[in-house]
Structure 1
Amino acid sequence: MNTDTTPRNFKKAKLLVVEDNADHWYVIESVLKQQLPEVEVIWMSDAAKTMTYLNDCKSKLHILPKVILLDLYLPSSQEGLNLLQAIKSKNSSFHHIPTIVLSHSSDATDISRCYETGSSSYIIKPTLIQQWVDYFKEFRRYWWNIVSLPDPQYQ
């Protein structure tokens, strides 16, 4: 019988945030630390660093992130889409990781292209701090308390 009371999704949990804007990262990090204090939050500022990090995790048998939050405009939407495609392609070792796109863009084409490329969700970035807090409360509830994510050793 397992007596560990740690919720399954929090065990050795990492959350990767790909955000090129340092001000946005600061807000995201501070709210995530409030809402997900048990989770190690990792920041990458561009596509190349992100793929290097993920490949290093895989080759060194480190735990992969349970979820990726990806800013679409890195700084262009094409760069964000290229990274999303690299993560979600069938040949990728990372295609199973839920990848949530964050963007200020509400453009229907951006949204459609992200879902077509494999995004698990598309979230329009809030503009107020309280909206960020509310968003990440729901994020925690859904992605960490409701959804069953794969154990890190199977990733």
Structure 2
Amino acid sequence: MKNGETVGIVLIEDDDGHATLVERNLRRAGLTNGFTRFSDGQKALDWFFNDPEYPQGRPLSNVVVLLDLKMPRVDGTEVLRRLKASPSTAALPVIVLTTTDDPREIERCYELGCNVYVTKPVEYDAFIEAVRRLGFFLQVVKLPQPARP
């Protein structure tokens, strides 16, 4: 990203504690960008696709999605599938950030189009360090511009 640009974070995470730790430690890593958080997959899908304020699609430049897999109503795998299937959101970088380390689930997420798969460490300090490293990565990543609907 160019100097002065920030990346917007769309955090789709049902666990309030994890969401707080993610946001706090990304900020500690130097990210000053906006965070939009959804506690279930359906709310996130509604925001991306069914917002009456944006009937032609939400403008989504410099946005990264951090996605948990195990969520109520609509799980993260379905959110990933829908984001990558739509021309208006297919280019959005999606980082799966979840406790699931099943190799079949990891493979499935990459097949569906996730850009990065990160397993949340169970141990608190390791989780904090993983999020901080992710924050450093997000400061230097180059993002594509999504297609217009």
TM-score, with length taken from structure 1: 0.78
Cα distance, 1:137 vs. partner? 3.3
Distance 2:44 2:75 in 1: 12
Query: Structure 1 residue 81 and structure 2 residue 67: aligned?
Result: no
Shift in Å at residue 16 of structure 1? 0.5
Assess, with a 3 A threshold, how the Cα gap between structure 1 residues 46 and 10 changes in structure 2: closer, same or farther. Answer: farther
Aligned residues of 1:66 and 1:152 also touching (Cα < 8 A): no
Contact 1:9 1:148 in 2 (8 A): no
Corresponding letter in the other structure for 1:84 = L
1:130 equivalent in structure 2:
125
Partner of 1:66: 63
Matches within 5 A, 1:1-155: 8=2, 11-55=5-49, 56=51, 59=56, 62-64=59-61, 66-75=63-72, 79-89=75-85, 91-145=86-140, 147-150=141-144
* Structure whose residues are more often helix by fraction: 1
Q: 1:73 to 1:51 in 2, by over 3 A?
A: same
Percent of counterpart pairs with the same letter?
26
RMSD after superposition: 2.9
Change (3 A) 1:152 1:117: closer
Work out the CA distance in 2 between the residues paired with 1:105 and 1:63. 28
**Structure 1: gaps (5+ residues):** 1-6
Unaligned runs of 5+ in 2: none
Deviations 1:18-60 (A, max 9, x none): 0011121121121122124321111111111111222338547
Q: Counterpart amino acid of 1:19?
A: E
Preserved contact between residue 27 and residue 129 of structure 1 (Cα < 8 Å): no
**How far apart, CA to CA, are the structure 1 residues paired with 2:145 and 2:4?**
10
d(CA) in 2 for partners of 1:92 and 1:9?
Answer: 28
Structure 1 residue 62: Cα displacement = 4.1
Aligned length: 146
